[in-house]
Chains A and B, each alone.
Chain A
Amino acid sequence: MADREAVLTAIRDERLKRQSTLRRLMAMPELGAIAGAILVFLFFGVTAGGTGMFAADGVLNWVTVAGQLTIIATGAALLMIGGEFDLSVGSMIGFAGMMIAIPTVYFGVPIELSVLFAFVGALAIGFLNGLIVVRTRLPSFIVTLASLYILRGMTIALSILFANRTIVSGVRNFADGTWVQALFAGKAFSGLFVWLAETGVIATLPNGDPAVKGIPAVVLWAAGLALIGHVVLSRTRLGNWIFASGGDANAARNVGVPVGRVKIGLFMTTAFCATVYATCQVMEFGSAAADRGLLKEFEAIIAAVIGGCLLTGGYGSVVGAVFGALIFGVVQMGILFTGAPNDWFLVFLGLMLLTAVLFNNVVRRRVTGER
């Protein structure tokens, strides 16, 4: 008996040893997204290398797109790992914009307070989304699909009610020169970029200004949120609770993880991220529009899935979602730079999503040992 077991152990160990390096690599959720990002960079390095895509202003272009998406993808990834979806992210972007613009333009509320109001309002809606999901145990897919329509409907209705059209403009008059505008739409390190232009590292405009005036606030928000999200997920107790809540809510509850509170907090996080996105847009454009954020919920989910998050929860990473967003930005802008018809972007996006899901499925089987 003992001999037999020793033999069995030896066989098992040997097999594990041979696979352990591969397994370890495969067990990194972000692996696929990183590999994908490298491929995409190689592709556009060859096809769009001479188009200015990789000059300073070209880089700014796709980094901004990737940054915007990173903001909402971070929230979406954390929520997906926690085992839920939020389809109301895009509508929340539109609605949060209205929550800033309408009080500012039509009620004379100082812009700082309007922004605060938008964040509080969005967090309350996120809380409500989470509470309904946790209490009723309905799929979050359905609950937030309802929110998607309710919020988008309210965004359009309120816009028509106050502005008599689907855009509320004139925010700029109230925002110019305020610290909130600097915080959400400013440019950082502009001195550095002036110096870079003077030394000839980056190009200058005809009037002598550098082609890139600084790092847009939206990119810094993206970097900050992604970093916080990554650290919380991988290095804190809360992160372990997020994995556990999404991996198996019952098992987590049995060992005392407050699953309900974790999930509600995650819904509030996606709402918060959507509001950061919305505020950046409102400050940048000086207006709120009823169609802002349309379909962004899917882009956020796509970035998270490309980044290795499983649709069933319990597995994924914020780093992966950032690479997912990067792929998104590079491809979307890269197609413009190469001059290929932009319509092909959606085809490519769909194919990439399908590939990512198939790949993730294989990874999950490896990781869980399913056959």
Chain B
Amino acid sequence: MSAAIASTPDAAVRPEPGRPLIEVRDLVKHFGPVVALAGVSLTVRAGEVLCLLGDNGAGKSTLIKTLSGVHKPTSGDFLVEGRPVAFSTPRDALDAGIATVFQDLAMIPLMSITRNFFMGREPIRRVGPLSFMDMGFADRVAREEMKRIGIDIRDPRQAVGTLSGGERQCVAIARAVYFGAKVLILDEPTSALGVAQTSMVLKYVSQVRHRGLGVIFITHNVRHAYAVGNAFTVLNRGKTLGTYRKSEITIDALQNLMAGDKELQSLSDDLDGMV
């Protein structure tokens, strides 16, 4: 069994850092008369965190749903490791190594950690013509993977509902990493979390990056973005306003850019820069 654990997808060779994993050029998505994306371009590189910033309605959700196979783009180029792709289901995206951790849909609270961790990819043990879920193996892996990210769980069969919000996000990320994701899309993983929980998630995101994965980190919190991001793409009204390396832009400039117009900036000045 230990051999089985060693040969898990996690041990697969990661691409060298800096190589583009996802390239998107002029992506357009219409919903009937509504133009949700009006030409978005971005590049996700191995070993880097790309922060996707934008206010509500900027098109962040549509963009990630397109990247994760929920929506089909109306036009534009979508390359994964240099090859054009057209996903028709979330499963296609998963098989191509793009795993999305949705903010509130990551885990099912009533189900055990083990059952959540292996949901949709249950390990199978065959007994004659019958096939069973290998609960012993699943429990062991779940416990080990939790330990790796610093969550010491006594019982992997305890319900996910007993974990904190930050822990749940971390379990969802660990699951994606374990099953061989090359690109992680994190949809506002910190927006509902307190300070300690947020730092736990950010720490883990940074750890995942060092293991050579590409991460798309969606947030509207510039501080969280700046803490872990290597590059920042700002979306506004369905378009990319620009992509900046961390060395090219300050946190304040990023905040201003994201605000889009002067209104928030002046409000922010009124509030002594507290927004």
By a beta-carbon cutoff of 8 Å, the part of chain A in contact with chain B is 1, 4-5, 8, 13, 16-17, 20, 23-24, 27, 231, 235-237, 239-241, 243-244, 247-248, 250-257, 310, 314-315, 364, 367-370
Q: A23-B162, A252-B120 are in contact. Are A367 and B110 (CB under 8 A)?
A: yes
Q: Which residue of A lies closest to B120 (CB)?
A: A255
Q: How far is the CB of B271 from chain A (nearest CB, A)?
A: 27
- The 5 lowest CB-CB distance pairs between A and B, nearest first, are A368-B161, A255-B120, A247-B108, A237-B122, A256-B91
- Distance in angstroms from B103 CB to nearest chain A CB is 11
Q: How far is the CA of A5 from the CA of B89 in the complex (A)?
A: 40
Decide if A368 touches B159 in the complex (CB within 8 Å): yes
Q: A240, B119: Cβ atoms under 8 Å?
A: yes
* Residues of B in contact, count (CB < 8 Å): 35
Instruction: Flag if A237 contacts B110 (CB, 8 Å).
Output: no
- Cβ distance B144 to chain A, nearest Cβ, rounded Å: 19
Cβ of A13 to closest chain B Cβ, rounded Å: 8
Is there contact, CB below 8 Å, between B108 and A254?
Answer: no
Query: Which residue in A8, A20, A243, A254 is a CB contact (below 8 Å) of B115?
Result: A243
Question: Distance (Å) between the CB of A5 and the closest chain B CB?
Answer: 7
Q: B92's closest neighbor in chain A, by CB? A: A256
B90→A254 contact, CB < 8 A: yes
Q: Is the interface of B mostly helix, strand, loop or mixed?
A: loop
Contacts of B12 in A (CB 8 A): none
Q: Is B154 an interface residue (CB 8 A)?
A: yes
Question: Given A236-B132, A251-B107, is A370 in contact with B119 using a C-beta cutoff of 8 Å?
Answer: no
B154 touches A20 (CB 8 A): yes
> B158 contacts A368, CB within 8 Å?
no
A334–B152 alpha-carbon span in the complex (Å): 49
Q: Which of A16, A314, A364 is the one whose CB lies under 8 Å from B108?
A: A314
Asked if B124 and A23 sit within 8 Å, CB to CB, the answer is no
B133:A255 contact, CB within 8 angstroms: no
**B137 close to chain A: CB less than 8 A:** no
Contact of B120 among A5, A248, A256 (CB under 8 A): A256
A-B contact pairs, 7 of them (CB 8 A): A16-B154, A24-B158, A235-B132, A235-B133, A314-B110, A364-B110, A369-B162
> Which of A251, A253, A310, A368 has the most C-beta atoms of chain B within 10 angstroms of its own C-beta?
A251
Residues of A within 8 A of B158 (CB): 20, 23-24, 27
Q: Is the CB of B90 within 8 A of A256?
A: yes
Interface centre among B106, B108, B131, B196 (most CB of A within 10 A): B108
- Kindly identify which residue among B107, B115, B161 contacts A370, using a CB–CB cutoff of 8 Å: B161
A314 vs B110: C-alpha distance when bound (angstroms): 7
Residues A255 and B155 in contact in the complex (CB < 8 Å), given A23-B162, A240-B118, A368-B109: no
Closest to A251 in B: B105
Q: Among B90, B91, B94, B111, which residue has its beta carbon within 8 angstroms of that of A243?
A: B111
B259 to chain A, nearest CB (A): 30
Least Cβ–Cβ distance between A10 and chain B, in angstroms: 11
B100 lies within 8 A of A235 (CB) = no
A-B contacts besides A236-B131, A251-B102, 20 pairs, CB < 8 Å: A5-B199, A235-B135, A237-B131, A240-B115, A243-B108, A243-B115, A244-B108, A247-B108, A248-B105, A250-B105, A251-B107, A251-B119, A252-B108, A256-B90, A256-B121, A314-B108, A367-B161, A368-B159, A369-B163, A370-B161
Structural contact, A254 and B102, CB atoms closer than 8 A: yes
When each residue 116-132 of chain B gets 1 if its CB lies under 8 Å from chain A and 0 otherwise, what string results?
00111110100000011
Q: How far is the CB of A324 from chain B (nearest CB, A)?
A: 19
